[in-house]
Amino acid sequence: MGFPLLFLVISLVLACDAFLLDDRTKPATTSGPLLSDQHYNFLINLIMNERQTRVKLEQHVVRLEQELLATQQGVTDIYHTSSINNATLEQEAKNWRTIRIENNDLKKKYNLLEYKFNALARNHSNLENYTKVLEKGVASLQQLKGVTDLQTLLNVRNETNILREELKMTNNSLNYVRNEAEARKQDFVALLNKADSIEHKLELSIRALNNSMNHISETLHYKQNQTALEVIQMQYEIQTYKFNQSVTFKHFQENLTSVEKIQNLSVGKLDLEVHNMSNRAAFTVCASAKTYSGGSTITFPSAHAKYGVSNSTLSGFGSSGKFKCEKAGLYLISGFFMTGTKGLAYLDFYKKDERIGLIYFSVTAGNSFQTSSISTVQFLDKHDTYYIKAGTNINLGGDNYSCITFLQLTNG
């Protein structure tokens, strides 16, 4: 509306030279055109400038609309990102509660093991008390020192003291039975041989006493011509001597029998313990250094130590990543794993295809690594499987950086 009105006003101004103030002045007449070429070009240029300005204004409006649309899209993306972050935080809170429950279970299992260890310590204390009682019984034999004719018994008592000291040393050596089981077994064999030697010496002592009694009988026969009173007195002394000797040897044989029973019981327990411990499994294996995809099984081809486990079982653990139990029993399973994978990663632990535990990694720095460990006690039946899976994509360090150890604590 503005430009046509302006064009009309300009045309009227150019068409008229002036306004008449009264009717006495006549307007001048012109013979030329009302609109010159210069005026026409000026109007055309004015219209073209107005059109260009309008096009620029429309372009600016379109650009403002595009910026508004981009701003709305950015706000929408920020809203969706916040929703995703909230969901992630809720999942992390659930995972933390799961870890805390598993930690409480581990504490309960540790308390149970501590209770069993205390019970074993009490049993050992009872055995020591019983040994002290035996020592007191052997000490009572020292009352025979005043009898001159029982010098041989004193020698036997000394041998008994030696036997008692060796039995005490044997009880102390039970603390080292894992590393020196075979050596202690040989010591007990030597102890048995020495007991046989003591028994042989006792028989010799009894024979010597019998010879002494025979000598006394001969002396009595030699003095038959003495008075009847002396003979009766001698017979009484001989009977008293025999009775005292019989009582003394009876007590000594009872004590020696008790020592032999305790010795045989200790030897039997040690043989059973040595057999059970020598038949238990223990080994340490390490993982392959590579990147595992989520859901894949971790393999352990490097065996650093093994005892009581077959090569085929370790070979299967190294190729398939699954340990197949050969001997049923309670196992202590502990391991440590290192990764440099950035962000959140975790490993799942399975027993008979059922997840029983997991460990988390969270590496945030540039070139840093993180090592996480796990320790658990599990009862494995024969042919049970135990293996570890990658919960997410994770790169594990190999050789000595990611290893797991199995130690059999009891037999099935």
State the pTM of this model. Answer: 0.37
Q: For residue 270, what is the enclosing H or E element?
A: helix 228-278
pLDDT tens readout for residues 164-206: 777 777 667 666 656 666 666 676 667 667 767 777 776 787 7
**Mean pLDDT lowest among 229-238, 309-318, 356-365, 378-387:** 229-238
Q: Assess whether 274 and 285 both reside in one domain.
A: no
End residue of a domain, out of 213, 248, 278: 278
Quote the crossing angle between the two packed helices 2-15 and 37-139, to the nearest 10°: 160
Contacts of residue 140, defined as CB under 8 A and 6 or more positions apart, other chains included, come to 251
Mean pLDDT of 233-243: 73
- Phi/psi of residue 366, nearest 5 degrees: -65, -70
Per-residue pLDDT tens over the stretch 7-65: 555 655 555 444 444 455 555 555 555 668 888 888 889 899 999 999 999 999 999 99
**In this structure, are 305 and 358 located in the same domain?**
yes
Q: Are residues 266 and 254 in the same domain?
A: yes
Q: Are residues 257 and 359 in the same domain?
A: no
At 160, is the pLDDT very low, low, confident or very high (cuts 50, 70, 90)?
confident
User: Do residues 381 and 270 share a domain?
Assistant: no
Q: Is residue 135 part of a domain?
A: no
- CATH number where 353 lies: 2.60.120.40
266 shares its domain with 151: yes
> Quick check: is 65 in a domain?
yes
Domain count across the chain: 3
Amino acid 18: pLDDT: 43
Residues 353 and 340 placed together within one structural domain of the fold: yes
Q: What confidence category does residue 338 fall into, taking pLDDT thresholds of 50, 70 and 90?
A: very high
Report yes or no on 12 lying in a domain.
Answer: no
Tell me which of 323 and 92 has the higher pLDDT. 323
Do 292 and 404 sit in the same domain of this protein? yes
The answer to whether residues 282 and 308 touch, using CB atoms and an 8 Å cutoff, is yes
Angle subtended at Cα 385 by Cα 379 and Cα 390, rounded to the nearest 5 degrees: 110
Whether 401 and 309 map to the same domain: the answer is yes
User: What three-state secondary structure class fits 67?
Assistant: helix
Residue 251 resides in a domain: yes
- Rounded to 5 degrees, what are φ and ψ at 340? -115, 10
**Domain presence at residue 18:** no
pLDDT value at residue 142: 54
Judged by phi (left if over 0) then psi (alpha if -120 to 50, else beta), residue 376 lies in: beta
Q: What is d(CA 356, CA 342) in angstroms, rounded to the nearest whole number?
A: 25
pLDDT digits (tens, 9 = 90+) for 124-140: 888 788 778 777 766 76
| Position with higher pLDDT, 395 vs 241 | 395
Q: Are residues 212 and 264 in the same domain?
A: yes
Residues spanned by the domain of 260: 147-278
Higher pLDDT, 185 or 380: 380
What pLDDT band is residue 244 in, cutting at 50, 70 and 90?
A: confident
**236 located within any domain:** yes
Residues 238 and 263 in one domain: yes
Q: Are both 250 and 285 inside the same structural domain?
A: no
Domain boundary among 278, 303, 338: 278
d(CA 110, CA 100): 15
294 falls within a domain? yes
Question: Is 142 inside a domain boundary?
Answer: no
